[in-house]
Amino acid sequence: MAILRFNALKESLNRAPVKIQEDERRSDLFGRNVFNQKAMRQYLTKDSFERLKSAIESGTKIDRSLAENISTGMKEWAISKGATHYTHWFQPLTGSTAEKHDAFFETIEDGGAMEKFNGSQLVQQEPDASSLPHGGIRNTFEARGYTAWDPSSPAFVWGPTLCIPTVFVSYTGEALDYKTPLLRSVSALDKAATDVAKYFDKKTNKVITTLGWEQEYFLVDSALASSRPDLMMSGRTLIGHSPAKGQQLDDHYFGSIPSRVLNYMRDLEKECMLLGIPVKTRHNEVAPNQFELAPIFEEVNLAVDHNSLLMDVMDKIAERHHFKVLFHEKPFQGVNGSGKHNNWSLATDTGSNLLSPGKTPMKNMRFLTFFINTIKAFYENEEIIRATIASASNDHRLGANEAPPAVMSVFIGSQLTKVLDELEKVTDGKLSPQEKTELKLNVVGKIPEILLDNTDRNRTSPFAFTGNKFELRAVGSTANCADPMTVLNAIVTKQLKEFKVEVDSLISDKKMKKDDAIFNVLREYIKSSKKIRFEGDGYGEAWEKEAEKRGLSNFRTTPEALKAKVSKKAIDLFGELKIMNEREVKARYEIEIEDYSKHIQIEGRVLGDIARNHIIPTAIKYQNILIKNVKGLKEIYGSNFKDQAKQQISIIEAISEHIEKINEEVELMIEERKKANVLEDPTEKAFAYCNQVKPYFDDIRYHCDKLELLVDNEIWPMTKYRELLFTK
């Protein structure tokens, strides 16, 4: 194993940056491999193009005759791009993407062949629904499921394949993917937000949800990664002592990007341009060998598709550059983990950002309405939000000082806090002329200036307002953005619907003017949601005690957090809005709770294997070297040898103690794993793995890491942190 480590080090140190040729402007490359409007105009008839465009914008169904015309044009375009196959590209509940390739190839009667792709092949396919996670919705013998074309997300060519974004549903219609509930939530939020936006602008006919994600990741040389069984099998290092230098000097963050990494980024960005992924920002992150990539904001469904596609592309491009991309939230102990910050906002079809104030009090009132309703929605549903970002891997990151804590809270900054404090004082009932003047001139009217000068930022808040958007920072780097965005859309939809009912009631029953009614409802929302607002860093016992007083949840582990997903409140929420029925909600819970157990089970098996088959034999080998040395000293010095061999004997004894502890802890862990494995209830099994199996990981790691400090570097089998984190 040590030979593998040193061979990997030698190979990685001899790497040269892969040469990248960039001879075209990015604006010319952008969208070249996407069946966008430019391609549609060229390959579709004018009538087909207009009908397809109208269907996408209005959400109406595309009939089979139109599908036939589109499929013909799409096929010719794809073949011109070098495509030989097509696939329905979808996002099952595995957390990654899925695809089954079919050729544009059919035989014909005279023994010849032709390229064929018709409307039915474009619109629908039948992949196996039983072999992908389904949470009991389908039986193994009932394999049929359907993928159905999502025309709102354009098809693209990746390699030799035409990829058609689709939803994935069971034979009986239940969603088996992330996209279907997201699309339903987008539609529900559009209706609710448009109804409220019309209070301020009657011309508003549509509200679009936007998302700008930020993808953090680590890059490790592929040879070094391959030398670590834990990285390859579980995505993170299960043992490894912290190096003398980590991130404490803050010299990596925003520093000069290493040459190999920069060329990887350039290559990746070129592919992103071709695929229409509007990546814009790249930089070093805080931890060594950690980086970030971020795009321009897009409509949420397209943004989610682009992030899922990006993760596939990142892996493939990394192979060219001899890198391994680590998306795990905490691949290395002792340094910052990785998140996927979801920047969420709402925009109207008239071009206005509903979470951005304007130059008039009316536009600022609109901003406050959506701003306060979002905070209220988050407060009322903080447990469901916590559940949607829960995973075995994200548990390592949440609360780890550089990331949001497990307690959900909202950060808005001191200036906006003052604004809400002023609004809280609004009179109960009709506003006096003086109050209206003061509100519009002194509070509402000054919001743009307040935001312009507001430099408050909180890097650790789970949900922070950052100027014209809310940033859900607690999402893990491995997550599919669709899940948290679906929940956020849903809770804001319900809140806006309740807001409109309350305002309309005050207008009709209390004969209030619209502004008075809006102010009165917002004032009550400010009061009732005040407990969720927090301006601190969220760490330590003080905040946890304060959060408990406020009645906020504090679920430190995934099994605890996931229970909120199947609460009556969650089932009623999704059912009322027709985003997911009870069966779909419970299926997702079952998939996620089983996924948690499987992740801990795999990590336990890998850790036991490494400890017993790699670490202990190496420690014994070094111990034997020391014993031989002590015997030699005894031959030379006789009865006085202990004076000369004192340190060697001390190390021999220490090694024995650590070996004994490792064996003991591994045995106990295995026994607890066996007990967990016989539990039939998925929830009980997850709690057993969380509370009975996982605690042994840190103990086993401690003794392995102590041996790393004792054993000769020349024979240590596992590639060390200093090599993984600082080999460029």
Q: Kindly indicate the confidence band of residue 644, based on its pLDDT and cuts at 50, 70 and 90.
A: confident
Q: Identify which of 48-57, 109-118, 457-466, 489-498 has the greatest average pLDDT.
A: 489-498
- Do the Cβ atoms of 125 and 88 come closer than 8 Å? yes
pLDDT in tens, 652-701: 999 999 999 999 999 999 999 999 999 999 999 999 999 999 999 999 99
- Kindly provide the residue ranges of all beta strands, DSSP E only, lying in 59-200, ordered along the sequence: 85-89, 101-103, 106-107, 113-114, 124-125, 145-149, 156-158, 161-170
| Distance set, CA 707 to CA 183, 239, 598, 654, 711 (Å) | 52, 11, 29, 9, 6
Tokens 């309405």 found at: 369
Asked if the model's pLDDT at residue 402 lies above 80, the reply is: no
In sign, the C-alpha dihedral spanning 573, 577, 583, 586 is negative
Asked if the model's pLDDT at residue 366 lies above 80, the reply is: yes
Identify the burial level of 651 via C-beta atoms within 10 angstroms of its C-beta, where 0-12 means exposed, 13-18 middle and 19 or more buried.
middle
pLDDT in tens, 414-428: 889 988 998 898 888
d(CA 504, CA 644): 90
Q: How many CB atoms lie within 10 A of CB 94?
A: 14
| Lowest-confidence segment of 370-384, 585-599, 636-650 by average pLDDT | 636-650
Q: Kindly indicate the confidence band of residue 196, based on its pLDDT and cuts at 50, 70 and 90.
A: very high
Task: Measure CA 589 to chain center.
Answer: 17
pLDDT over 90, % of the chain: 74
Asked if the model's pLDDT at residue 141 lies above 60, the reply is: no
Pairing of strands 463-465, 410-411: parallel
pLDDT, mean of residues 60-64: 82
Residue 503 has what pLDDT? 97
Selected residue with higher pLDDT from 443 and 161: 161
Q: Kindly indicate the confidence band of residue 544, based on its pLDDT and cuts at 50, 70 and 90.
A: confident
d(CA 369, CA 351): 18
| Lowest-confidence segment of 69-78, 104-113, 190-199, 573-582 by average pLDDT | 104-113
If DSSP codes are grouped into helix, strand and coil, which group holds residue 15?
coil
d(CA 657, CA 647): 15
Asked if the model's pLDDT at residue 171 lies above 80, the reply is: no
Q: Kindly indicate the confidence band of residue 457, based on its pLDDT and cuts at 50, 70 and 90.
A: low
d(CA 450, CA 455): 10
The closest alpha carbon to 402, from 299, 251, 539, belongs to: 539
Selected residue with higher pLDDT from 377 and 111: 377
Residue 190 has what pLDDT? 97
Asked if the model's pLDDT at residue 438 lies above 70, the reply is: no
Asked if the model's pLDDT at residue 166 lies above 80, the reply is: yes
d(CA 114, CA 92): 32
Asked if the model's pLDDT at residue 130 lies above 70, the reply is: no
pLDDT over 70, % of the chain: 95
- Do the Cβ atoms of 686 and 596 come closer than 8 Å? yes
Q: Kindly indicate the confidence band of residue 214, based on its pLDDT and cuts at 50, 70 and 90.
A: very high
Identify the burial level of 551 via C-beta atoms within 10 angstroms of its C-beta, where 0-12 means exposed, 13-18 middle and 19 or more buried.
exposed
Q: In the predicted model, what is the mean pLDDT of the chain?
A: 91
Asked if the model's pLDDT at residue 135 lies above 90, the reply is: no
The maximal CA–CA distance of the chain, rounded, in angstroms, is 105
d(CA 704, CA 683): 31
Residue 128 has what pLDDT? 62
| Distance set, CA 572 to CA 390, 425, 494 (Å) | 21, 34, 11
The closest alpha carbon to 209, from 182, 236, 227, belongs to: 182
If DSSP codes are grouped into helix, strand and coil, which group holds residue 339?
strand
- As given in the structure block, the two tokens for residue 283 are 């930089």
Tokens 């009865």 found at: 639
Crossing angle between the packed helical segments 514-528 and 482-509, to the nearest 10 degrees: 130
Selected residue with higher pLDDT from 95 and 631: 631
Q: Kindly indicate the confidence band of residue 539, based on its pLDDT and cuts at 50, 70 and 90.
A: low
Asked if the model's pLDDT at residue 372 lies above 70, the reply is: yes
Q: Kindly indicate the confidence band of residue 453, based on its pLDDT and cuts at 50, 70 and 90.
A: low
Q: Kindly indicate the confidence band of residue 61, based on its pLDDT and cuts at 50, 70 and 90.
A: confident
Residue 697 has what pLDDT? 98
Asked if the model's pLDDT at residue 538 lies above 80, the reply is: no
pLDDT in tens, 12-23: 999 999 998 888
Residue 324 has what pLDDT? 97
